Amino acid sequence: MPLCDGCGAQVDEGHIRSRIERLEHATRFRPIHIQVLFLAAAPPSQPGDDFYRAATSVKRSAASQVFFDEIAKSVGHKPGDTADEETTLTEFQRRGFYLAYAVECPIQSPIQLAADVAKLAPRVLLRLNTSYKPKFVAAISQELQPLIPVFQSNSWAERLILQNGAPFETPTEDNLQHHAEFGDPLADSITKALAHHS
Ligand SMILES: [Zn+2]
């Protein structure tokens, strides 16, 4: 069984294929120069919930829809805007924004996810420094907390976009209400970071 580059686990061919599909969908909207990397912990388990998903005819889960709409605020979209996903993603790309994951495969168990985030920290740092090379990194999953000190002690301290010193808290199906509104503070912080930078 092959080892997956995305999550470090021993996996079957189907797993590798799904990972490649996710990367292909994301790559379509990858900016040449990344201004802000939106870093989340791991992709959703349903392909229809993927941020850069292919088929937009499928309805997203509630948490996935909130996640997408809140992120869309960073390109100036308001709730209820009728822009389709393709248009939003194109604008996201045009601004130099890109969404990526610390662990590049869906991980069901929160304990496993925490372990994988910690284990893959050196690899995430390498991807930041050699592949994405963004001006800023916005940490948008509470599960990324263990990575924050790693980033801070590796020259990213000034270029991390956080909320009160911690990652932005994004919604899950269980706490949809509580974390639903991360998009406004995130959009504000990004605007400020980019204004200071230029
Ligand atoms: Zn994997």
Question: For the domain that residue 189 is a member of, what is the CATH number?
Answer: 3.40.470.10
CA of 17 to the centre of ligand 1 (A): 10
Q: What is the pLDDT of residue 147?
A: 95
CA of 77 to the centre of ligand 1 (A): 32
Task: Say if 134 falls within a structural domain.
Answer: yes
CA of 18 to the centre of ligand 1 (A): 9
CA of 187 to the centre of ligand 1 (A): 30
Residue 178 has pLDDT above 80, yes or no: no
Task: Say if 101 falls within a structural domain.
Answer: yes
| Whole-angstrom distance, CA of residue 163 vs CA of residue 167 | 6
CA of 36 to the centre of ligand 1 (A): 24
- pLDDT, one tens digit per residue, over 29-85 is 999 999 999 999 999 999 999 999 977 788 999 889 989 999 999 999 887 777 789
CA of 184 to the centre of ligand 1 (A): 32
Q: What is the pLDDT of residue 179?
A: 59
Task: Say if 1 falls within a structural domain.
Answer: no
CA of 116 to the centre of ligand 1 (A): 11
**By percentage, how much of the chain surpasses pLDDT 70?**
96
- pLDDT, one tens digit per residue, over 134-159 is 999 999 999 999 999 999 999 999 99
pTM (predicted TM-score): 0.94
**By percentage, how much of the chain surpasses pLDDT 90?**
78
Domain count, the chain: 1
Task: Say if 4 falls within a structural domain.
Answer: no
Q: What is the pLDDT of residue 39?
A: 98
CA of 193 to the centre of ligand 1 (A): 33
CA of 9 to the centre of ligand 1 (A): 6
Task: Say if 32 falls within a structural domain.
Answer: yes
Which residues are placed with Cβ below 5 angstroms of ligand 1, an ion?
4, 6-7, 105
111 residue type, one letter: I
Q: Confidence band (pLDDT; 50, 70, 90) for 180? A: low
CA of 1 to the centre of ligand 1 (A): 12
Supply the range of the domain harboring residue 85: 13-197
Q: What is the pLDDT of residue 78?
A: 80
Per residue, the 3-state secondary structure of the chain, as one string, reads CCECCCCCCECCHHHHHHHHHHHHHHHCCCCCCCCEEEEECCCCCCHHHCCCCCCCCCCCCHHHHHHHHHHHHHHCCCCCCCCCHHHHHHHHHHCCEEEEECCCCCCCCHHHHHHHHHHCHHHHHHHHHHHHCCCEEEECCHHHCCHHHHHHHHHHHHHEECECCECCCCCCHHHCCCCCCCHHHHHHHHHHHHHHHC
CA of 105 to the centre of ligand 1 (A): 5
Q: What is the pLDDT of residue 54?
A: 78
Task: Say if 7 falls within a structural domain.
Answer: no
Task: Say if 179 falls within a structural domain.
Answer: yes
CA of 43 to the centre of ligand 1 (A): 10
